[in-house]
Amino acid sequence: MLDGLKQRVKAALAARQARQRAAALQQTAPHVDRATLAAGLRALGIAPGDALFIHSSLKSLGFVEGGPAAVIGALQDAVGPAGTLVLPTYWLPGGTILGTCEMPGYEFDIRQHGTHMGALPEAFLAITGVQRSVHPTHSVSAWGRHAAWLTEAHHQAPSVFGEGSPWQRFSTLARGHVLGLGISMGPVTYYHLAEDTLGDRFPMNIWLDKTWHLPSRDAAGRLWQVPVRPFVPELMSQRIDHKARADLREWFAAEFDAVGVKRNGPVGQAMAWTIPGPAFLAHLLKLADEGITIYATPQQLAARPPGAGPAAG
């Protein structure tokens, strides 16, 4: 009961802060609309029929007339009715994967739990036709042609990002693109697909020995036991998404530019980038063969300048 009250208070405070940020943005940031955003996406090379796995910063776009719904509308306009949109709609009540696994009595319920990922994923969950994967930490939502297929088997996958997961299935789409809207190369979960693809062959051990099986309910109320194996907490400060690893983010951006698979351009007021999903995974696996991962040390990066290795597939 007390936990529920705390969550409601936190949600109310977060909503208030979001309103305050939106008001400040409206007064200070350039205004953009749905048509402007769609035009920027098309100039970036996004075409009808494409599938996009989207990581985004809403505020980086400027003040969007119509809010998150207009951004989603622009993405839909860019890919058209034959396209697909995928957004992370994670629910991590423990703050981290490990923290969530260790929560007494935690049970994910797709009918009740929203997302901690911000205003755009929250709005996406409310869109008609969106499908959501059943997963206690890394639930993903999708709209469009491939939505059901991408999300239907996540709870049966042997690992969060492995065979049958939305990431693994997305990597097989010839017209799939990972899209970063106003973000660096840091907060991108697609990297973990390479880790789960390689498993024990990954250059370093990044997982704890223990696998939790977390109860998760689907839209019909059926209960599934979903395997989750957390990362080693001590390694998080080395990873590309840690605030101290700007060097690693810059290296990966330069590397994917150098091998010719990354396309960059403005969308609204944000800088955006896209990388084809199959090529993204293929090059991550090549880098892992060279010992370069999202945990690489400054010394490793210095010894292997961006673009110095074999070309991306």
Query: Which residues have a Cβ under 8 Å from the Cβ of 48 and sit 6 or more positions away?
Result: 78, 79, 80, 82, 83
Domains of the chain by residue range: 2-303
CA 297 to CA 97: how far, in whole Å?
24
Model-level pTM greater than 0.85? yes
Residue count (the chain): 313
pLDDT of residue 30: 78
Q: How far is CA 110 from the centre of its chain?
A: 18
Model confidence over 181-238: pLDDT tens digits? 999 999 999 999 999 999 999 999 999 999 999 999 999 999 999 999 999 999 999 9
Q: Residue written as tokens 């001590």? A: 234
Instruction: Report pLDDT digits (tens) over 31-62.
Output: 899 999 999 999 999 999 999 999 999 999 99
